C-alpha cells in the first residue's frame, strides 16, 4: 500500500492541482515541479506537510525538499496525480516557459557560448601572457619589453599569436557553428558561413577603423558596390548571420521534397545567407559601431563628461560582448594625437578589472563547486590581464548579476578616473597591468579608481550571490545532493538516538484499554505471544506508539505489523481476532517493511463494521514480543486512552 497517501493528496492540491503541473521530476532529495502558474502554489501550507523539509524556486522550477525517500514519494505522487514524470533535463527545458524574455535571451546566449568557453579561456590566458611580454616596458629604464631584448621570447610571442588569432579573430566561425548546433541544423554549413565572414580576401575587421574609406576594397555589381569588410572578433554580425542561415535551412527543409533535399537545401540556405551576412547584417553592425564611437568621442570632449564616464563605465562590458569595442581604438588614437594622451583607455582598463573582480567573488562563493572553478579561476586571471571575454561569456553573463555588479563598479571607477583627469600615454594593456600605461602623475588617482573597481563589484557580487545562488550553484549538483543526503542521514541518526531514550509507548488507538487476559482468544489471553495490552477501538486508524522501524508486515491481509524500537524492544500490533481470514478486506496497510516511522504516524486503517460483519471482535492487541534492552515493563490498563497521547506501556 502507499506510504505517503495523505501527503501526496495534500501536495497535489497545494501546488494547484494536476492542471497546474507542466512537468515534474525528482533528484536525490527534491521534487522538481514546472508549474503553469507558480502563484497558485501555497508555499506556507506545503511546508507544513509532515514529510516536506522546505521549498524554493530556482531557474523556473518549484522545488519541494522531501529527503532520501523522495523516489518513493515521487512514484506515489505521479501515480496518484496521473501525471507522467520527465527527466531532470526535460524539466529544465520545460522550466524555460516560466522565464521572462530577458531570462530566455540570457539562457539562449549562455547555451550558444557554452561550447566555445574553453577556447575563449585558453585564448584569454594566451593574450594576457602576450600583453605582459610584448607591451610592458620592464627593461632598460622602461624603454623596452621582454620581446625587445630577447629573440627567444620574441619567437614565443609570434608563435602564440597562431592560437590567439584563431580564437579571437576567427570567433565568428565558432559562434555560427554553435548556433547551428543548438538549433539542430547542418553544422558544416555554419562553419562555412563563419569562414566567409573572416576570409583573407576581405579587409581585416580590426583594420577598418584606421583605413580610409577610399581604400576599402569593394565588390562591384554594376548597379551597386558592397565593401569587402571582414568581421573578425565581431559577435552581433556573426549571431545574426547564424540565425539567418538556421531559419533559411529550416524553411527549405520543410518545403523541399526529400529526394532532392541534399542538393537544394544546402545551396538555397548557404548562398542567400552569405549575401545577407555581407550586404545587410554586416553593414548594420558597422553602423552600430560607428554610432557608438561617435557618442564616445562627443562624451569625452563635452561638458557632460562626468555623466558620460558613468554611462561608459556601465555599458562598456556589454559593448565588449558585441565585439564593437574595437571601434574605441580609433578614438583613443585620435585623442593621443590631439593631446598626447587618452582619458578613454583608463576607463577600459578599469572595466576589465571590475568584471574580473565579479568573477573573483564568484570564485570565492563557488570554492566548493569544482566544475564551476574550472571556469572561474582561469577566467578571472585572463580578465585581470586585460582579456574579458572568458569572464563575460563564461561566468558573468551566465548568472547575470555578476555582470551587473561589475558594471556598477566600473561606472563608479570611471567617474573617479575622469574626475581626476587620469590619462594614459597610449593604448596599453588592460586589467591590472593597465597602470603601466598611465602617466606617472596620475598613478595615485588611478590606484583609487582601481580600488573602487576591485572592491565594489566584489562586495556586491558576494552579497547578491549569497541570496541568489542555489546550493547546486554554490557547491555543484552532485555535492549539493550529497550534502542534503548527509543532512537527512544525520537527522535520522539524531531521531534514532532520541528513540534509544524511549521510556514509554503511547496508545495506538483511541478507546478502552483492557488487559490481555480479557481478549477472546487463547493465544493472546494466555500470553503465548508475550505480554501487552489490548484496546477496544473507537476510531479506525492505528498509529505508531513511538519512533520505530517497521519490522514485519502482513502485506496480504494488512491486519498486523511489527515495530522495532531503538532499545531493541519489539511490538506486535494485531487488529481484531482471527481477522487474517478476511484476506485484507476492510484493511489498508500504510507502511512497508523497513520504513522508519515517527510517533503518531498512521500504520493501519481498518473498517470496524466489516470486521464485525465478518463475525470477528475489533479488539486490537499491542504485544511486546521482545524486551530488548528494556528493564521491567509496566502495562497500564483499565482507562480510556487517546491515540498518540495516553501512555499504556512503560519501560523501566
pLDDT at 95: 47
Collapse the DSSP code of 379 into the 3-class scheme (helix H, G, I; strand E, B; otherwise coil) and give the result.
Answer: helix
Q: What Cα–Cα distance (Å) separates residue 194 from each residue in 68, 116, 175, 198, 501? A: 49, 14, 8, 7, 72
Phi first, then psi: give them for residue 84, nearest 5 degrees: -100, 125
Please say if the pLDDT value at position 217 is more than 60: yes
Q: Could you tell me where the DSSP H helices lie in 323-400?
A: 328-339, 344-365, 370-384, 389-391, 397-399
Q: What is the pLDDT of residues 146-204, one digit of tens each?
A: 999 999 999 999 999 898 888 878 888 998 999 998 888 999 999 999 999 999 999 98
Q: How many CA atoms lie within 13 A of 73 on its CB side?
A: 27
Whether residue 109 contacts residue 180, with contact meaning beta carbons closer than 8 Å, is answered with no
From the candidates 27, 380, 383, 561, which is the catalytic residue?
A: 27
Provide the whole-model pTM.
Answer: 0.51
Mean pLDDT of 445-466: 95
- Residue 104: the pLDDT is 61
Catalytic (active site) residue 27: yes
Distance of alpha carbon 627 from its chain centroid, rounded? 51
The tens digit of pLDDT for each residue in 278-298 reads 999 888 877 776 676 667 777
pLDDT digits (tens, 9 = 90+) for 85-107: 654 455 455 445 555 566 566 56
SS3 of the chain: helix, strand, coil, percent, to 5: 60, 15, 25
pLDDT of residue 329: 58
Q: Do the Cβ atoms of 369 and 477 come closer than 8 Å?
A: no
**pLDDT mean over 199-216:** 86
Rg (CA), the chain: 36
**Average pLDDT of the chain?**
83
pLDDT, residue 280, reads 92
Q: What integer pLDDT is reported at residue 498 of this predicted model?
A: 47
Q: How far apart are CA 285 and CA 394, in angstroms?
A: 23
Which pLDDT band holds residue 527 (cuts at 50, 70, 90)? confident
Average pLDDT of the segment spanning 206-213: 81
pLDDT value, residue 511: 95
**First and final C-alpha spacing in the chain:** 35
Q: Which residue ranges form the domains of the chain, and what is each CATH number?
A: 5-99 (3.30.1360.60), 502-651 (2.70.70.10)
Dihedral of alpha carbons 120, 122, 128, 130, sign = negative
User: What is the average pLDDT across 9-19?
Assistant: 91
* pLDDT computed for residue 563 by the predictor: 93
Task: Say if residue 648's pLDDT is above 60.
Answer: yes
Cα-Cα-Cα-Cα torsion 635, 639, 641, 645, nearest 10 degrees, comes to -60
pLDDT digits (tens, 9 = 90+) for 616-639: 999 999 999 888 877 788 999 999
- Joined grid coordinates for residue 402: 555578476
Q: In the chain, how many H helices and how many E strands?
A: 25, 20
- State the Cα–Cα distance between residues 338 and 479, nearest whole angstrom: 57
Instruction: Supply the angle between the helices 282-300 and 328-339 in degrees, to the nearest 10.
Output: 30
| Long-range pairs of 363-368 with CB within 8 A, sequence gap ≥ 24 | 364/462, 365/461, 365/462, 365/465, 365/466, 365/469, 365/474, 366/469, 366/473, 366/474, 366/475, 368/474, 368/475, 368/476, 368/479
Q: pLDDT tens digits, residue range 302-358?
A: 788 889 899 989 988 887 776 656 556 556 655 655 566 778 889 988 999 999 999
Q: What is the pLDDT of residue 88?
A: 47
Amino acid at each position: 500500500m502507499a506510504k505517503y497517501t495523505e501527503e501526496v493528496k495534500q501536495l497535489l492540491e497545494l501546488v494547484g492541482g494536476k492542471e497546474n503541473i507542466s512537468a515534474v521530476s525528482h533528484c536525490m532529495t527534491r521534487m522538481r515541479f514546472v508549474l503553469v502558474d507558480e502563484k497558485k502554489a501555497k508555499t506556507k501550507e506545503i511546508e507544513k506537510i509532515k514529510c516536506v523539509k522546505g521549498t524554493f524556486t530556482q531557474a523556473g522550477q518549484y522545488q519541494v525538499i522531501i529527503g532520501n525517500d523522495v523516489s518513493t514519494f515521487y512514484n506515489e505522487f505521479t501515480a496518484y496525480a496521473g501525471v507522467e514524470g520527465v527527466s531532470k533535463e526535460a524539466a529544465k527545458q520545460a522550466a524555460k516557459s516560466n522565464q521572462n524574455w530577458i531570462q530566455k535571451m540570457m539562457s539562449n546566449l549562455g547555451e550558444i557560448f557554452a561550447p566555445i568557453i574553453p577556447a575563449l579561456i585558453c585564448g584569454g590566458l594566451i593574450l594576457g601572457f602576450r600583453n605582459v611580454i610584448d607591451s610592458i616596458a620592464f627593461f632598460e629604464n622602461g624603454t623596452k619589453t621582454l620581446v625587445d631584448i630577447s629573440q627567444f621570447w620574441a619567437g614565443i610571442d609570434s608563435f602564440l599569436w597562431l592560437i590567439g588569432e584563431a580564437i579571437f579573430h576567427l570567433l565568428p566561425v565558432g559562434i555560427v557553428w554553435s548556433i547551428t548546433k543548438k538549433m539542430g541544423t547542418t553544422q558544416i554549413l555554419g562553419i562555412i558561413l563563419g569562414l566567409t565572414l573572416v576570409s583573407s580576401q576581405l579587409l581585416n575587421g580590426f583594420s577598418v577603423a584606421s583605413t580610409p574609406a577610399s581604400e576599402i576594397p569593394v565588390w562591384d555589381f554594376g548597379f551597386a558596390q558592397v565593401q569587402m569588410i571582414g568581421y573578425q572578433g565581431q559577435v552581433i554580425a556573426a549571431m545574426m548571420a547564424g540565425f539567418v542561415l538556421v531559419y533559411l535551412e529550416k524553411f527549405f527543409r520543410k518545403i523541399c521534397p526529400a529526394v532532392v533535399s541534399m542538393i537544394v537545401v544546402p545551396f538555397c540556405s548557404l548562398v542567400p545567407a552569405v549575401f545577407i551576412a555581407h550586404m545587410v547584417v554586416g553593414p548594420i553592425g558597422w553602423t552600430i559601431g560607428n554610432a557608438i564611437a561617435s557618442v564616445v568621442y562627443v562624451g569625452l570632449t563635452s561638458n557632460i563628461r562626468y555623466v558620460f564616464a558613468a554611462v561608459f563605465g556601465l555599458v562598456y562590458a556589454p559593448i565588449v560582448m558585441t565585439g564593437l569595442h574595437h571601434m574605441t581604438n580609433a578614438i583613443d588614437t585620435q585623442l593621443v594625437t590631439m593631446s598626447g594622451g587618452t582619458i578613454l583607455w583608463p576607463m577600459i582598463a578599469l572595466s576589465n578589472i571590475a568584471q574580473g573582480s565579479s568573477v573573483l567573488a564568484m570564485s570565492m562563493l563557488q570554492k566548493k563547486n569544482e566544475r564551476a572553478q574550472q571556469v572561474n579561476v582561469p577566467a578571472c586571471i585572463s580578465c585581470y590581464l586585460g582579456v574579458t571575454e572568458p569572464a563575460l561569456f563564461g561566468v558573468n553573463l551566465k548568472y547575470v548579476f555578476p555582470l551587473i555588479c561589475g558594471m556598477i563598479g566600473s561606472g563608479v571607477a570611471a567617474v573617479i578616473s575622469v574626475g581626476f583627469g587620469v590619462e594614459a600615454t597610449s593604448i596599453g594593456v588592460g586589467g591590472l597591468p593597465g597602470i603601466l600605461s598611465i602617466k606617472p602623475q596620475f598613478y595615485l588617482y588611478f590606484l583609487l579608481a582601481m580600488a573602487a573597481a576591485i572592491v565594489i563589484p566584489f562586495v556586491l557580487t558576494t552579497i547578491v550571490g549569497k541570496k541568489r545562488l542555489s546550493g547546486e550553484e554554490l557547491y555543484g549538483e552532485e555535492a549539493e545532493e550529497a550534502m542534503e543526503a548527509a543532512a537527512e542521514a544525520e537527522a535520522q541518526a539524531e531521531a534514532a538516538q532520541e528513540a534509544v531514550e524511549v521510556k514509554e509507548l503511547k496508545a495506538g488507538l483511541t478507546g478502552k484499554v483492557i488487559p490481555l487476559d480479557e481478549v477472546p482468544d487463547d493465544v493472546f489471553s494466555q500470553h503465548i505471544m508475550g505480554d501487552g495490552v489490548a484496546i477496544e477501538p473507537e476510531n479506525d486508524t492505528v498509529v505508531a506508539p513511538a519512533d520505530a522501524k517497521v519490522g514485519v508486515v502482513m502485506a496480504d491481509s494488512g491486519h498486523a505489523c511489527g515495530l522495532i524500537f531503538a532499545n531493541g524492544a519489539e511490538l506486535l500490533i494485531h487488529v481484531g481476532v482471527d481477522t487474517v481470514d478476511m484476506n485484507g478486506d476492510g484493511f489498508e496497510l500504510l507502511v512497508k517493511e523497513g520504513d522508519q516511522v515517527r510517533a503518531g504516524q498512521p500504520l493501519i486503517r481498518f473498517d470496524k463494521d466489516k470486521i464485525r460483519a465478518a463475525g470477528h471482535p475489533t479488539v486490537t492487541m499491542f504485544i511486546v514480543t521482545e524486551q530488548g534492552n528494556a528493564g521491567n515493563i509496566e502495562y497500564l490498563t483499565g482507562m480510556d486512552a487517546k491515540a498518540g497521547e495516553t501512555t499504556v506501556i512503560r519501560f523501566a
